[in-house]
């Protein structure tokens, strides 16, 4: 019998989500903060696609748009859930 799942849930493995949502919002940056807030909201309601979008925004912002470079407060808090 082949390994088929009748109705595969559209949830991805937790590690994959963690990777998708991995980002480093910069302390004191409103853009990063806003995106991070949205990320968490989207994640909370299971909208990983949208959450990942915000994570990308943050990565872009933290990676390129901040001049202070090392002043980033990396908030890679481990999700407790
Ligand atoms: Zn920022």
Distance from Cα 14 to the centre of ligand 1, integer Å = 26
Distance 29 CA to ligand 1 centre (A): 5
Please report the pLDDT score of residue 1 as a whole number. 65
Residues 69-80, mean pLDDT to the nearest whole number = 47
Q: State the pTM of this model.
A: 0.63
Q: What is the gyration radius of the CA atoms in the chain, in angstroms?
A: 15
pLDDT at position 71 over 90: no
Q: How far apart, in whole angstroms, are the C-alpha atoms of residue 26 and residue 68?
A: 10
For 6-27, what is each residue's pLDDT tens digit?
776 666 667 778 888 889 888 8
- 26 CA distance to ligand 1 middle (Å): 5
Q: What is the residue whose two structure tokens read 């979008």?
A: 53
pLDDT tens-digit map of 31-65: 999 999 999 999 999 999 999 999 999 988 887 76
61 CA from centroid of ligand 1 (Å)? 5
CA of residue 55 to ligand 1 center, whole Å: 11
CA of 31 relative to ligand 1 center, distance in Å = 5
Give me the pLDDT at residue 52, please: 95
pLDDT of the residue at 43: 93
């Amino acid at each position: 019998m082949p390994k088929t799942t009748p109705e595969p849930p559209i949830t991805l493995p937790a590690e994959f989500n963690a990777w998708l949502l991995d980002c480093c919002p910069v302390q004191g940056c409103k853009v990063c903060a806003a995106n991070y807030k949205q990320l968490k909201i989207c994640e909370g309601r299971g909208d990983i696609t949208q959450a990942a979008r915000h994570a990308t925004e943050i990565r872009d912002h933290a990676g390129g748009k901040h001049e202070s470079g090392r002043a980033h407060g990396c908030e890679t808090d481990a999700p407790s859930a």
